[in-house]
A and B are shown apart, each in its own frame.
Chain A
């Protein structure tokens, strides 16, 4: 019964690092949805715990994100002053636009 969840989990790859300007970078690739958003949540929690000034989500390799993914990004935005989304795909961008979040999660291309 444990594999019941695994069968349906989307594939997501998460990399974390710091860029030359000192901003924390989280690179998210693959598909992010309700089945695996918790993975990102854990990764982001360990970063926000260190209170970085800026946090950039590099989403250039993220094909798809649903509202569970948005929840993780928003949670980060509540803890870090400046959260930016770098190079999101159209699918991801539309989720941000349709939930009225363009002011909270600024998009840079």
Chain B
């Protein structure tokens, strides 16, 4: 009898397993579709911002180069970005950041492409360019600006269109091919994991909208889908010119759902339960890697200032947060600091954060006055349907004049430290960006003592359940003034001492210190 029950259970398990494999495959292709579609803004926003900037500055090479440089190079979104004035008989780029675009050596192709590209503010894709070193191009022309500028970016396709990471055994259980357009012809493949196309056997496919064009995606399992997941996603998306991190974001999102599914199956298959634990750990580390990838990898150095920043992920859970910061040089003597927090958690908050962050940087490049930056950012967020808001603090620092110009969209005031004395900067705080009807922002100018330190932070540092916010703020001030520490040690100490042990929110801290 026991044997019969065992056999029946085993059969049931097998049936459930097979059904789940089929379901998982369909889910995977849809999820990968989401990954790719979700990456459009992170390709489009920098290019759209650069197109607006080019229009506003009459095609200033210096502004274009300064704005685009952080996006171009190894491991970044684009291999090459160039600016093309369209009102000219001989099409050629006037500014090139990064590699020389393949398109520049193909005048006829360039003419056709720019003539047929939709000028309505959509991301356009070239075909596959070149034969020896094929590349894929993206173009963006600002809507309603004629005759204007086109911003063109290019990324090389991998050699033989094969994923370079393919031999890594972590990628051993899934095959995929990504094609340009609705095609499944070998000539149109952008990247694939297999040596021989087309992919055969059990498979699923989907059409992915991407800007004004589409991709066609085909995936097939090599073995069990209950095993390791789509780890080549970062690579696929890197090919289409996207922050590797965003792929990781979706992977995290998907892993979160995968974990739920795994939990449901756990009663039937022990194997899944073991994997469940593994996935949880994996997922958390992906989230952390992602958040670090989304934030600036190095902070610029400024004469007369010491700057430092810290990001602390939530202590529990696997969510990605929406906190970010940026510090950029405006000119020889002025520095602009932005810190913000997009509402919500998980993939959507991270994607939205990338969008808002890039948009803010673009507005800073146009005009660095904080109230102007936030007014434009607010207009940008409110111009479309949105279900998020963001608190943003924008501080323009005049290093030599020892002066801050500060505007806050719902973001908590920074702490200004002068030796043993510490005060939160007192000024009018406006509503967060994304709150309907708000378009005016106040700007305050504040003098700064010599050797002062400015500490800006997100709410994770001071919020604790069941506590009036002022108590958390006082705790921060006390901790920051108790002893005099070098800036980097101060930030580490604050993050250690203040975040409660089970803090569920992520935290960002930025410190700026004047030096003599």
Q: Spell out A's residues near B (CB within 8 Å).
A: 1-2, 4-5, 8, 10, 31, 33-35, 63-64, 66-68, 71, 74-75, 77-78, 90-91, 94-95, 98-101, 103-104
Cα separation A104 to B502 with both chains bound (whole Å):
31
B345 CB to nearest chain A CB (Å): 7
- Name the CB-closest residue of B to A10: B465
Cα separation A5 to B317 with both chains bound (whole Å):
7
Cα separation A94 to B430 with both chains bound (whole Å):
14
Which chain B residues lie closer than 8 Å to A63 at the CB level?
Answer: 466
- Name the CB-closest residue of A to B279: A1
- Name the CB-closest residue of B to A8: B502
B208 at the interface (CB under 8 A from A): no
A78 near B316 with CB under 8 A, answer no
B316 near A67 with CB under 8 A, answer no
B468 near A4 with CB under 8 A, answer no
B263 near A71 with CB under 8 A, answer no
B78 at the interface (CB under 8 A from A): no
The binding surface of chain B is classed by DSSP as loop
| Interface range, B side | 35 or more
The residues in B between 405 and 439 inclusive whose CB is less than 8 angstroms from any CB of A are: 408-412, 428-432, 435-438
Can you name 21 A-B pairs with beta carbons within 8 Å?
A: A1-B277, A34-B504, A66-B465, A67-B343, A67-B391, A68-B505, A74-B435, A90-B468, A94-B470, A99-B391, A99-B411, A99-B429, A99-B431, A100-B409, A100-B410, A100-B428, A100-B431, A100-B432, A101-B432, A104-B437, A104-B438
A93 CB to nearest chain B CB (Å): 9
B459 at the interface (CB under 8 A from A): yes
Which chain A residues lie closer than 8 Å to B408 at the CB level?
Answer: 100
Cross-chain contact of A99 among B432, B438, B502 (Cβ < 8 A):
B432
B466 near A31 with CB under 8 A, answer yes
A64 near B429 with CB under 8 A, answer no
B161 at the interface (CB under 8 A from A): no
Cα separation A31 to B463 with both chains bound (whole Å):
13
A4 near B467 with CB under 8 A, answer no
B469 near A91 with CB under 8 A, answer yes
B431 near A103 with CB under 8 A, answer yes
B343 near A78 with CB under 8 A, answer no
6 other A-B residue contacts (CB within 8 Å) besides A8-B316, A31-B465 = A1-B280, A63-B466, A77-B435, A78-B435, A91-B466, A100-B429
- Name the CB-closest residue of A to B388: A71
B505 near A34 with CB under 8 A, answer yes
If A1-B259, A67-B341 touch, does A98 touch B467 (CB 8 Å cutoff)?
no
Which chain A residues lie closer than 8 Å to B345 at the CB level?
Answer: 34
B495 at the interface (CB under 8 A from A): no
Which chain B residues lie closer than 8 Å to A2 at the CB level?
Answer: 263
A8 CB to nearest chain B CB (Å): 6
B134 at the interface (CB under 8 A from A): no
Cross-chain contact of A71 among B389, B411, B468 (Cβ < 8 A):
B389
B475 CB to nearest chain A CB (Å): 14
Cα separation A75 to B276 with both chains bound (whole Å):
34
Which chain A residues lie closer than 8 Å to B270 at the CB level?
Answer: none
Cα separation A95 to B464 with both chains bound (whole Å):
12
- Name the CB-closest residue of A to B316: A8
B363-391 to A contact mask, C-beta < 8 Å, 1/0: 00000000000000000000000011101
A54 CB to nearest chain B CB (Å): 16
Which chain B residues lie closer than 8 Å to A33 at the CB level?
Answer: 465, 504
Which chain A residues lie closer than 8 Å to B344 at the CB level?
Answer: 71
The residues in B between 438 and 479 inclusive whose CB is less than 8 angstroms from any CB of A are: 438, 459, 463, 465-470
- Name the CB-closest residue of A to B459: A67
